[in-house]
Amino acid sequence: MSTEFLSEEGDVCFDQTRRFEILREIFDSLSEHVAVLDRAGCVVDTNLSWQRFAAENSTPDKCRLQGENYIEVCDSSTGVAAKEARQAADGIRGVLSGEIPEFSLEYPCHAPSEKRWFLMTVTPLVSHGSIDGAVVSHMQITARKLAEAALIRYERAIASSSSLVSIIDLDFVYRLVNDSYLRVHGKKRDEIEGRKVAEIVGQDVFDMYVGPKLVRCFAGETVEYEAWFDTNWADRRCYAVTYYPYRERDDSISGAVVTATDITEAKQMQDEIANSARRLSEAQRLAKVGSFEKDYLHGKKNWSDEFCRILGYSPETVDPDFNLFMHHIHPDDEPDFRENFEAAEARGHEFTAELRIRTVQGEERHVSLVCGFDLLEDGSMFRLHGAMADVTERRLAELRLEHLANTDELTGLPNRRHFLECVRAEMVRSRRFGKSLCVAMIDIDDFKKVNDTHGHGVGDLALKHVARTINGLRRAVDVTGRLGGEEFCIMFPEAGLEAGAAAAERVRRGLAEAVLEHEDLRLRLTVSIGLAEYSAGESLDGLLRRSDEALYEAKRTGKNRVCSRAVDSAPV
């Protein structure tokens, strides 16, 4: 009987020992760093994860293992996470005293070579209904924190864009809008995000315009168009709008990204020169936008893929650097850009600029850049972020339209409007600096006979011939324009009546000697010229009237000659 009793007791002891070993193995296999504290906050046990982390991140004499009071360790902590350490100490006290059922805290624990974040949880250790201690665990959450930081960067890049950006889900609900979108609509973020699109734009507009385009976008189509809109903050504005399908990682479409860029000024220019705009009917495309960021505190820099593409780089081959970007700025634009950027950086103010860059391939492009600066509480800079849009097509279109608006299509000379603008500007300069100025009105003699005899095709060739010949005879500072029909005009800056008459005579004689050759035709053309010298205080109309009178006198007295007209005098 005694032997049997001892055998049963031995089996019980064996089972308990094995159970302890199994539980210990489980305890040590946990990836979290786990410590058991007694009621005073002293460490009574730790798992292998805790021991390894302590050994790798502490000196041997400060390795936080059994016997050390963990609450005192947290209270005495210094450094960047001292605030969180004191919060941890208070939380442990609260759990041990029963004041709170549990405690959790997210905190940074950065190493010299990497950034790390942990989630600390404290739960009571209860035995027979009373608290005997606490279990403290630390779980690494670095991946989640880095993902959150990346999300913030992308949101800031979108927010800094001058284009209107919104994300709309498949239920036609706004999920995100940027600052430009809020500013144009005059609403706060919570007045748009989370609401139906029809509530913001109006049911009629949604049913007729927005809704059908969203449906096409949800089906996988990229929708682009230009339209005029009434705004609350200004008159009608024209926007280039693009609906992009928003795709998840599995390539399924979960919504649409809608961007809208204000192109009102370009459209107004097209309206002002409608004839030229019809020849340039290609619509401006939505500018592509790249983002960039520089962390001053940690020395980290980032260029988005699109930013690299605008500069001509493959994203995986470039090391983003401010000096590298400066290297790509056009030499004529670099000094002003550097000065304005450094001034904005010193004040921490938002900075915008339009400039030219040269890509890696040597191509010149026009970009629009906007950037902002994040400041610490003490006013020091810790982050630069912003966006850059490729506006080359828009800028080149503006330059082409400007050229067409100022140029006579047939001869390539300045047209009447542009030429008279040049004369007005020179009149101002003449008054300010006391310089002489003459204007010569030129008319082709017997031009109607050329058209009647040889046809309007030869007439056009004659006009080009006269324009080309005058341009070859004038000084570099002189300006020639075609006023209309067979009438031309030359402005002679810094030339008095005598010098102007000599220059006009040189033009008359050169045209009379030049021969227009076309197929079997050889044609000599002559011109009559009326010259007038500008008098300070005289109007442009008065100056042109006197040159017209002198031209009339040249026609009346036999053509192919130069007549001049002084102020309040008869033609000479």
What one-letter code names the amino acid at 51?
Q
DSSP annotation of 30 reads -
pTM beyond 0.95: the answer is: no
Under a CB-based contact definition with an 8 Å cutoff, are residues 100 and 94 in contact? yes
Domain 289-395 has CATH 3.30.450.20: yes
| pLDDT for residue 286 | 42
Instruction: With H, G, I as helix, E, B as strand and everything else as coil, classify residue 294.
Output: strand
Residues 194-200: contacts with CB under 8 Å, at least 24 apart: 196/171, 196/172, 197/168, 197/172, 197/173, 198/172, 200/174
- Residue 130's beta-bridge partner residues? 127
| pLDDT for residue 28 | 80
Q: What is the pLDDT along the chain (572 residues), one digit of tens a residue?
A: 444 444 555 565 657 787 878 888 888 888 888 989 999 889 998 888 888 888 877 655 554 567 889 888 888 888 777 888 899 999 999 999 999 999 999 888 877 778 888 899 999 988 888 998 999 998 888 888 887 777 677 667 566 677 888 899 999 999 888 888 888 888 898 999 999 999 988 899 899 889 999 999 999 999 998 888 776 656 778 888 999 999 888 889 999 999 988 888 877 776 665 444 343 222 223 446 788 888 877 778 888 888 888 888 887 788 888 788 888 888 888 888 888 888 888 777 888 888 898 988 888 888 888 888 888 877 777 788 888 888 888 778 877 777 777 888 889 899 999 999 999 999 999 998 999 999 999 999 999 999 898 998 999 999 999 999 998 898 889 999 998 889 999 999 999 999 999 999 999 999 999 999 888 889 999 999 999 999 988 899 999 999 999 999 999 999 999 999 877 654 45
Tokens for 500?
């102007």
| pLDDT for residue 8 | 58
Of 317, 323, 330, the closest CA to residue 294 belongs to 323
Tokens for 564?
């001049």
Q: Please state the φ and ψ torsions of residue 230, each to the nearest 5 degrees.
A: -80, 130
- Residue 45's beta-bridge partner residues? 36
Secondary structure E strands in 271-345: 289-295, 300-303
For residue 543, how many C-alpha atoms fall within 13 Å in the half-sphere facing its CB? 22
CATH code that applies to domain 161-267:
3.30.450.20
The structural domains of the chain, with segments of one domain joined by +, span 20-143, 161-267, 289-395, 407-565
What does the buried/exposed string (b/e) look like for 148-183 if buried means 16 or more CB atoms within 10 Å of the residue's CB? eeeeebeebbbbbbbbbbbbbeeebebebbbebbbe
Of 563, 500, 494, 499, the closest CA to residue 528 belongs to 563
Count of CB atoms situated within 10 Å of the CB of 351? 20
- Fold match between domain 289-395 and domain 407-565: no
Classify domain 407-565 at the CATH topology level: Alpha-Beta Plaits (3.30.70)
Q: Name the catalytic one among 486, 498, 505, 519.
A: 486
Q: Tell me whether residue 533 is one of the annotated catalytic residues.
A: no
| pLDDT for residue 276 | 40
Tokens for 1?
């009987």
Q: For 20-143, which CATH superfamily applies?
A: PAS domain (3.30.450.20)
Q: Please state the φ and ψ torsions of residue 351, each to the nearest 5 degrees.
A: -135, 130
Q: Which residue has the tokens 């082409």?
A: 400
Count of CB atoms situated within 10 Å of the CB of 444? 22
